[in-house]
Structure formats: structure tokens, C-alpha cells
Amino acid sequence: MVTVNVGTLHNVLDHVYGAFMHRTKISPLFFSGGWGGSKLELLERMIKQLFPEVVGQNWPPTLVKPVWNTVWETKTACLREGVFRTPCDEQLLSALPPECHNARVAFLTPKFVPPQKMACVVHLAGTGDHTFERRLRLGGPLLKENIATMVLESPFYGQRRPLMQFGSKLLCVSDLLLLGRATIEEARGLLHWLDSEEGFGKMGVCGLSMGGVHAAMVGSLHPTPVATLPFLSPHSAVVAFCEGILQHATAWEALREDLAAQKAAMTLEEVRERMRNVLSLTDVTRFPIPKNPDAVIFVAATDDGYIPKHSVMELQKAWPGSEVRWVTGGHVSSFLLHNGEFRRAIVDGLNRLEWKESPS
């Protein structure tokens, strides 16, 4: 009788999926357009300004003003979609493709519940999540707990995808940093709107994979306590693109040629080291500890082919008081099978916050 290790199977599934998605010629590689030239230099400077040794931890969010349209409503719930101008400053706006300048958001709320007795969680997109549907399915069952769901369409994704970009395959390394910086600005703006304009009693931010990295950054930088819920997320994009399966989906030769054109001939190993240095800017452990670290819950997978265990533990170590929960599976299988665990983490994280105004 042959004994099969289930954990190994989950990991193999990640590698099979990764090989199909990233090693076949179905789509181009990430960063086939190179580093991004002066845009990358601008982004490196701007992101360094986010770290606590440079500025205080209460960098204020910009209020956004969504214009809403009702998609559907029932006796108990309502789904609206909104559009707002990205709150990025002029310097960042000039670097963003024009398709990214207007942000789109879906907002699913229970009816007949006053906002001060409700919570709302902003859901950020993982790699390849171009629509609202998956995240609305994750948040939908939470309506009965009086938890609303707000889903942000990422820059470079969905209707915000630049014309020359194929699917999720960002053209330049600078696009990855742009996507992250704009997502942070927009998510913090939405949390500020939920707080100051709508009066929600509690708020949170969550995301899966890349969305979890962004959620951690938003939770870290937001000036008021929010539940912070990264799912299947590394501590840095270095892990995804230099250690995990996505290293096989990266256009290393194009990146080397781009550097060679700048009269800087490099070996592939030196190119990888340059990538590590650039993506170290996405290292969440360099960000401030969130205001309520006990309301930070990481959900990680035991056999994740994209995110090694050490990366998750670095996050918990950097944010004392946070919690790590493990689900059995790989990156792909956990994404498909463990929505119940993600929802439980959302509920528990919000329960660890005080109500802004105690419900009567």
C-alpha cells in the first residue's frame, strides 16, 4: 500500500498550477518591459518616505468621495458600485497609466442597520483577481453578522488595466510598486470615508496573497485601529518573485538586457540581487506596528508553494501580539477550500476592536 503525504500533494498542486500559468507560452512573463526607468527611481524615493524612521506613524489619509450606483437590492441587503478619483498626489498620478486614475469599488451592506452598529471590511485584490465577484462571495455570508464588505478594484487590474498589459502580467517592476502605493492610498481613503462620512462602528482590511501584503501595509499606516487580516500572504514581494513559484514567471533576461542598455552589464544572479533590493521596499516588517496588534490575524497554509513558512513567522515576530492561524493545504487549495477560516478570522479580528460608539 502506497502512503501519500497530503501536504506534498497540496504543494505539488501549487507547482502544477504555477507551471501551467507561468511556464507555458499562454501569457508573457512578469516585467517583460524591464525595470521602468525613471518611474522606478521615483517610486523608490516615495516608498522610503512611508517608513517610520522618516515620518511619523499618523500620516493622514485623503478623504475620497465615491459616486454610487445601486446594482441590486433585496429586503435585507444592497449592493452598490462606486467610482472615485484616486487620491494619489500629482507626482504619483503622473506615473500611473491614465486607465488607473479612476478607482472602482463595490459596497455590499445589510439594510436597516445603523452604521455605528455595523462593521465594514475593505477587501484588497490578490494577484490575478480582476473582478469583484470572488471577494463579494467571501464577504456575503458576513452580512448576517452585520459586517459590510467593500471591494476595491486594484490599479492595473480589471477596468483599470493598461492597454498594453496582458492579464495580470505587469510590464515593469515599477508597476508593481505603483500598484502597491496607489492601493494603499485608495484603501486608506476608503477607510477614512467609512469612518468620517458613514460613521461605521468598526473597520477592517483584508486581502489574499498580494492583497494581504497591501492589507498589512494599510493596517500598519492607518491612524486609527482597524482589524488587519492578511491571508496566504508573504512578508514581502521578495518572497513571491525571488523565492516562490513566481520566480519562474519573471522575465529575468529582459531585466538583465534593460540594465545592460544602461551600461551596467550584470549576471543573472546580480539581476536577482537588484530585484531583491528593489522589492525590499515592500517588506511589511519595516512598517510600523499597527495600533491594535491583537486585531491582526494572519491565516497561512501549511504547504504553500508560493509563500514559505518562515515568511509568515517573520510577520508575527515583527508585530508582537498578532496571531497566526494555519490551515491545511497549499496556496491554490486553501484559496479554494478555506473561505470559512478567512471569514472566522474577519469576525474574530473585528471582535478585538472597541466599538467607536457603543451600540445601545
Q: Give the number of other Cβ atoms within 10 Å of residue 258's Cβ.
A: 21
If you search the block for the grid coordinates 521615483, which residue do you land on? 42
Question: 14-23, 79-88, 123-132, 208-217 — which is least confidently predicted?
Answer: 14-23
Per-residue model confidence (pLDDT) at position 104: 97
pTM of this prediction? 0.89
What pLDDT is attached to residue 307? 85
Report the pLDDT averaged over residues 119-126: 96
List pLDDT tens digits, range 125-152. 988 778 899 999 999 999 999 999 999 9
For the chain, the maximum distance between any two Cα atoms, rounded to a whole number of angstroms, is 68
For residue 299, the surrounding DSSP H or E stretch is strand 297-301
Rounded distance, CA 280 to CA 239, Å? Answer: 10
Task: Pick the more confident residue, 277 or 264.
Answer: 277
What's the whole-number mean pLDDT along residues 90-109? 95
Condensed to tens digits (0 to 9), the pLDDT of residues 46-95 reads: 777 666 544 444 568 899 999 999 999 999 999 999 999 999 989 889 99
**Cβ distance 86 to 99 under 8 Å?**
no
Burial of 118 (0-12, 13-18, 19+ CB in 10 A): buried
pLDDT of residue 333: 83
Distant-in-sequence, close-in-space partners of 88: CB < 8 Å, separation ≥ 6: 96, 181, 182, 185, 186
If you average pLDDT over residues 264-284, what whole number do you get? 90
Residue 310, class by beta-carbon neighbours within 10 Å (0-12 exposed, 13-18 middle, 19+ buried)?
exposed
- Looking at residue 18, its pLDDT comes to 42
Greater pLDDT, 91 or 352: 352
Q: What is the pLDDT of residue 1?
A: 42
Higher pLDDT, 190 or 243: 190
Confidence of residue 11 (pLDDT cuts 50, 70, 90): low
Overall residue count recorded for the chain in this entry: 360
Q: Is the pLDDT of residue 10 over 60?
A: no
pLDDT for res 332: 76
pLDDT band at 262 (very low <50, low <70, confident <90, very high): confident
Which pLDDT score, from 0 to 100, does residue 358 have?
A: 52
